[in-house]
Amino acid sequence: MFSIGELSKRTKVKVPTIRYYEEMGLLAEAERTSGNQRRYDKDGLERLSFIRHARDLGFSIEAISSLIELQEHPDRSCEAATDIAVSQLADVREKMKRLKLLEKELTRISKGCDGHGISEDCYVLASLADHELCERDH
């Protein structure tokens, strides 16, 4: 059995986040000691590790809930899990596309100023103040 602090250390998930996952139903409610301290078993540790890994991959709480539901029913098709993963991949690719555009714009505006003048003439500050100076919407 693991205390919430030990579970936190092992999974690198903060204690308030563990409580939140429990409240959201992603993590089973922990057993309590006579002193009302939470105690988690190996299944709780494994579930929290699963949640942590899924969060690291950017899955939403809703998607994780659906994945857990599938995991709890091993007789079901994994098609829904694959669909959730494919959707997450599409979201990541879209974010990467937006980040590439931001990188390009930030590179452009940072090159517009040598950093040696005064702030009144700073192209970076001017670009942030006037969106019209940007090459594209972002």
pLDDT tens track for 23-81: 999 998 888 878 888 899 999 999 999 999 999 999 999 999 999 999 999 898 899 99
**For position 128, what pLDDT does the model report?**
87
Would residue 62 count as lying in a domain?
yes
CATH number (domain holding residue 27): 1.10.1660.10
**For position 112, what pLDDT does the model report?**
78
Q: What is the DSSP string of 55-124?
A: HHTT--HHHHHHHHHHHT-TTS-SHHHHHHHHHHHHHHHHHHHHHHHHHHHHHHHHHT--S-S-GGG-HH
Would residue 102 count as lying in a domain?
no
**For position 81, what pLDDT does the model report?**
95
Would residue 99 count as lying in a domain?
no
Total domain count for the chain? Answer: 1
Would residue 83 count as lying in a domain?
no
**For position 32, what pLDDT does the model report?**
87
Would residue 123 count as lying in a domain?
no
* Structural domain for 59, as ranges: 1-76
Would residue 72 count as lying in a domain?
yes
Answer yes or no: is pLDDT of 11 > 80: yes
**For position 79, what pLDDT does the model report?**
94
Q: Which pTM value belongs to this model?
A: 0.78
**For position 131, what pLDDT does the model report?**
80
Q: What mean pLDDT is reported for the chain?
A: 90
Would residue 46 count as lying in a domain?
yes
Task: Give the pair of three-digit tokens for residue 95.
Answer: 């974010």
Answer yes or no: is pLDDT of 5 > 80: yes
Would residue 44 count as lying in a domain?
yes
Q: Which of 51-60, 105-114, 121-130 is the most confident on average?
A: 51-60
